[in-house]
Structure 1
């Protein structure tokens, strides 16, 4: 048996005792002879500063691990949402796919959205696995991977801001008057515009007057049509239904022509989704930044 490391007895009804380290016997007695305790004890060593620091560091790493898991799960959900939005835009039956197909820049943006969604989906899964298993190689690969994606998304946002003028009313008007060929379904550009105008019940970019400046359309129609057939009003609830009066419409009778331009209609339809996509992109970028910080801290803390 070892000696007593530290025994403190005080006079009074209750004698406090503190023992740190080693094994021995503790004797506690009230000085007036009312109580006597004599029993063996074995206590652990007094915790040192270094051990307390190690414990705190371990707690911090554990906290980072769980936070990283949560953030990666959010990235996983964000990637799933981006994939869902991209797929929905490509297959949506209400006309968004026609709008996207009408502009190569928008079509490229949708493909980028799908690619980013797929990468974030995979990235979130890998990050969750790396955080739970505390694998340094997986964490390093995850950090580099998410850094590349973060820079790519940031570059895409900057390019979208720089080329935002390509989505203006003037841009679409110029493209329509230059390339539109009327009811020629073999031309992708014209067929896309026809589908958009029929779907949304609109005519041209600004209105029927746009086709007075459409040189190719005027040439092919031999000036016998004021507006294309896609601008004509149809029976209610019928996307490809019967025209109210095809002859009067083509001759320019305003009561049989859709008067509203497609730009305003599409802008109103897209406005909610644009803000939603922007908020989602900002949220994903912020989460990715925090996840990179946590991943590097966890990587450095794992022994």
Structure 2
């Protein structure tokens, strides 16, 4: 075959150089970010010795470290296929990348469509309730879950329990019957349920002690949040619906663009 013909065929098969390196650069950033998230998740799991403690896998899906591992792993694979496929102009990797991205996009659209359809039937509320129940039951058993629910109650929603402070009775440490075994936290709530006082520099970790005991002697609403986290979450979503919708559209647009 003449050299001119080979050169012409090679030139017509090449993709735009600008598009190639734009795709490569964006996926390298995605790949490195995913590597960081994956590393943090694996480190957190190893610190808790979860790789050997299989008995705790019954609530694995609620483990923030596990979520980081899954999210980091999927994104790492996606970024690797996109960056290497673009750099090497490998059609197999690029095809797998496109299919993988399309599946993720369809799954996200399907999830949000189902959530929107079932929102009035209580599906989202039921899922949130079941997740919070597990968080409350295992509050002292997993540091990551403990930090997560403390953040939800204190920093994000300013709430306490599922429907209110009484829900902490389902935790062995905060149950009122635990007074008999000497639990100092019995008939109380975690410190994250407490309202932050003006000019308070250091949070009082014992502020929730005894607040659910009969005859506590102080007005409860001034000490702790009495609103449940499910109701607080519903109100937060209603107030931030435009921001949530815009964020979802932006994420989907980014996925389509890369």
Q: Give the TM-score of the pair, scaled to structure 1.
A: 0.48
Equivalent position SS for 1:143? helix
How many residues align? The count is 216
Mark the CA change 1:177 to 1:113 in structure 2 (over 3 Å): closer, same or farther. closer
Which structure shows the higher helix fraction?
2
RMSD over equivalenced CA pairs, Å: 5.1
CA distance in 1, matches of 2:158, 2:19: 50
The 2-side partners of 1:179 and 1:279 are apart by 31
What are the ranges of 5 or more consecutive residues in structure 1 without an aligned counterpart? 1-50, 92-101, 132-138, 288-303
Match of 1:210 among 127, 146, 164: 164
Q: What TM-score comes out, normalization by structure 2 length?
A: 0.54
Q: Which whole-Å CA distance do the structure 1 matches of 2:30 and 2:210 have between them? A: 51
8 Å CA contact 2:82–2:93 kept in 1: the answer is no
The equivalences for 1:150-229 within 5 A come to 150-154=101-105, 156-157=107-108, 160-161=111-112, 164=115, 168-176=124-132, 180-181=136-137, 185-186=140-141, 191=146, 192-194=148-150, 196-200=152-156, 202-204=158-160, 209-212=163-166, 216-217=170-171, 220-222=175-177, 228-229=189-190
Residues 1:69 and 1:217: Cα distance change in structure 2 (over 3 Å) = closer
Unaligned runs of 5+ in 2: 44-58, 180-185
Structure 1 pair 106–149 and aligned structure 2 pair: CA distance change class (3 A): farther
Question: Where does residue 61 of structure 2 map in the other structure?
Answer: 104
| Match among 186, 194, 207 for residue 232 of structure 1 | 194
Aligned pairs for 1:78-89 (under 5 A) are 78-80=30-32
Please identify the structure whose Cα radius of gyration is greater. Answer: 1
Q: Give 1:256 shift.
A: 0.8
- Structure (1/2) with the larger strand percentage: 1
Given that residues 101 and 255 in structure 2 are in contact (C-alpha distance below 8 angstroms), is that contact kept between their aligned partners in structure 1? Answer: no
